[in-house]
Amino acid sequence: MEAEHQVQIRLLTALREALGKPQGRDAARVLLRQLLDFSEAHFVSEQILMRQHAYPGYEGHVAEHDRLLEEMRQIVLEW
């Protein structure tokens, strides 16, 4: 999981850098989509692990994943 979190951080950093450049909108659009796609896959794998280990806060954590993904999808749509 930690390696996947590092990928998310790298994507966020690249997105921030792209947004800071005058011609970065196209790159930012691609990075935002990559971040959404990766996060969807990451959250599924994280949820599988949480279920396997009977994670006590599973429902709340899944709800947070769902909220974050919905916000990201909305940003992608509005972009």
Q: What is the pTM of this model?
A: 0.86
pLDDT reported for residue 39: 96
Instruction: Return the exposure string of 33-64: e unless at least 16 CB atoms fall within 10 Å of the residue's CB, then b.
Output: eebbeebeebbeebeeebeeeeeeeeeeebee
Residues 6+ positions from 27 with CB-CB distance below 8 Å: 14, 18, 21
Q: Mind listing the pLDDT tens digit for each residue in 10-47?
A: 999 999 999 999 888 889 999 999 999 999 999 999 99
